[in-house]
């Protein structure tokens, strides 16, 4: 299984904000840091804001910051939301429909994938509280 670019960027935005809790960050700054499209990040940040993960501040001194504590952001739930409905295989038009038993094991595997991710929060996946990342910028 491969996560969508949207999920990847969502995680990156939250990781960046978790390592810069002491200030407001800009989408441009995050895009530059990760060398990714600012336009894509604007869509990601809009969705993260709508879901309550990020607070977007308008105006001259505007930017974004985490709306929740890193300990409150569950990685599994985040990915479920950013990925939407996941079908590992498309069975609707398959010639083996009714005979194949593969969808059951695939559903179990997908469930196990999310069971593992739901054990972790953003705080768990930010190594050393982001200090190494912050010191690298200096």
User: Domain total for the chain?
Assistant: 1
- Give the pLDDT of residue 61: 83
Q: What is the CATH number of the domain that holds 131?
A: 1.10.10.10
As a whole number of angstroms, the distance between CA 79 and CA 66 comes to: 17
In a structure prediction context, what are the per-residue pLDDT tens digits for the chain, which is 138 residues long? 789 999 999 999 999 999 999 999 999 999 999 999 999 999 999 999 999 999 999 888 889 999 999 999 999 999 999 998 888 888 888 888 888 888 889 999 999 999 999 999 999 999 765 555 555 544
Q: How far is CA 76 from CA 9, 116, 130, in A?
A: 15, 8, 20
Q: Domain of residue 22: give its range.
A: 5-136
Tell me if the pTM is above 0.95.
no
- The position carrying tokens 């300990």 is 71
User: Tokens standing for 99?
Assistant: 């005979």
Query: What does the angle CA 33 – CA 42 – CA 58 come to, to the nearest 5 degrees?
Result: 100
- Give the pLDDT of residue 128: 67
- The position carrying tokens 């969808």 is 103
Answer for the pair 9, 44: CB distance below 8 angstroms, yes or no: yes
């Amino acid at each position: 299984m491969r996560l969508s670019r949207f999920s990847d960027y969502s995680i990156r935005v939250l990781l960046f904000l978790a390592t810069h809790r002491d200030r407001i960050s800009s989408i441009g700054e995050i895009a530059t840091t990760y060398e990714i499209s600012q336009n894509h990040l604007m869509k990601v940040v809009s969705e993260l804001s709508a879901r309550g993960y990020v607070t977007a501040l308008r105006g001259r001194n505007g930017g974004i910051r985490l709306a929740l504590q890193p300990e409150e952001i569950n990685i599994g739930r985040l990915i479920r939301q950013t990925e939407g409905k996941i079908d590992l295989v498309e069975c609707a038009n398959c010639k083996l429909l009714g005979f194949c038993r593969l969808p059951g094991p695939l559903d179990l595997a997908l469930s196990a994938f999310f069971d593992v991710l739901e054990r972790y929060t953003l705080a768990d996946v930010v190594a050393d509280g982001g200090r190494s990342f912050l010191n690298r910028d200096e």
